[in-house]
Amino acid sequence: DAGVIQSPRHEVTEMGQEVTLRCKPISGHDYLFWYRQTMMRGLELLIYFNNNVPIDDSGMPEDRFSAKMPNASFSTLKIQPSEPRDSAVYFCASSRGSYNEQFFGPGTRLTVL
Amino acid sequence: AQTVTQSQPEMSVQEAETVTLSCTYDTSESDYYLFWYKQPPSRQMILVIRQEAYKQQNATENRFSVNFQKAAKSFSLKISDSQLGDAAMYFCAYRSAGATNKLIFGTGTLLAVQP
């Protein structure tokens, strides 16, 4: 079975540009999570969905960040406008049920110049 | 709010030896889950081992085992017979057993394995 798929793997953009990160969870998983990893803050949960509905977005840093899950097999995390401090590795993870293991994707390394 | 602390930023072990990584956490909850994740240079986060707080028996997975001390809020990871492939960043994580599905991570311990 394919794992969690994220695209792109690397993204370099300039400050002020819109960035869209994509995630395809494992088929049959009903929970989807977006995490951000930085040297300063470590790994932090941004938002998570259950059955395509956002449940907790308290980790989203500011209004420039938005996430959607239009269907069970696709989610996006958008940053508009991007800033250099958004440079990080963004992970998507999915799980079947709330008590089971979260499987992580390979991450997207975002660099904002 | 729950917090997870890993006090060892870096550790080193000789191949075939045993190493223990430390993790402490703070919570007022009685029911929760604890995890150790491995992040090799490929960046992929891989679950190493999981412990349910209600279980007194320490979890084991092949060469990996934990020492779970609920009263002390301590959750250390022991790697036996260390292999070169064990070199990675290791993260301790906490998750409430309640409605929230958040994983709260520690800052990580970078493990080097010397041949």
Instruction: Report the 10 Å Cβ neighbour count for A108.
Output: 22
- pLDDT (0 to 100) of residue B2: 87
- Chain B interface, best mutation among A102, A109, A110, by max B CB count within 10 A: A102
**Strand A88-95 relative to strand A103-104, pairing:** antiparallel
The rounded average pLDDT for each run of 10 residues, N- to C-terminus, in chain B (115 residues) is 92 97 94 94 92 92 96 97 97 86 91 96
Instruction: Work out the mean pLDDT of chain A and round it to a whole number.
Output: 94
Q: Which of B47, B104, B106 sits opposite A101 (nearest CB)?
A: B47
Among A110, A96, A108, CA closest to A5: A108
Kindly state the percentage of chain A with pLDDT values over 90: 88
Contact check, Cβ <8 Å, A56/B100: yes
Contact check, Cβ <8 Å, B43/A107: yes
Q: Which residues contact A39 (CB under 8 A, 6 or more apart)?
A: none
- pLDDT (0 to 100) of residue A2: 80
Residue A15 structure tokens: 């400050």
- Chain A interface, best mutation among B52, B103, B110, by max A CB count within 10 A: B103
pLDDT in tens, A62-106: 899 999 999 999 999 999 999 999 999 999 999 998 778 899 999
pLDDT in tens, A7-34: 999 999 999 999 999 999 999 999 999 9
Contact check, Cβ <8 Å, A106/B101: no
How many C-alpha atoms does A99 have within 13 Å on its Cβ side?
7
Burial classification of residue A13, based on how many CB atoms lie within 10 Å of its CB (0-12 exposed, 13-18 middle, 19 or more buried): middle
- pLDDT (0 to 100) of residue B99: 66
- pLDDT (0 to 100) of residue A1: 63
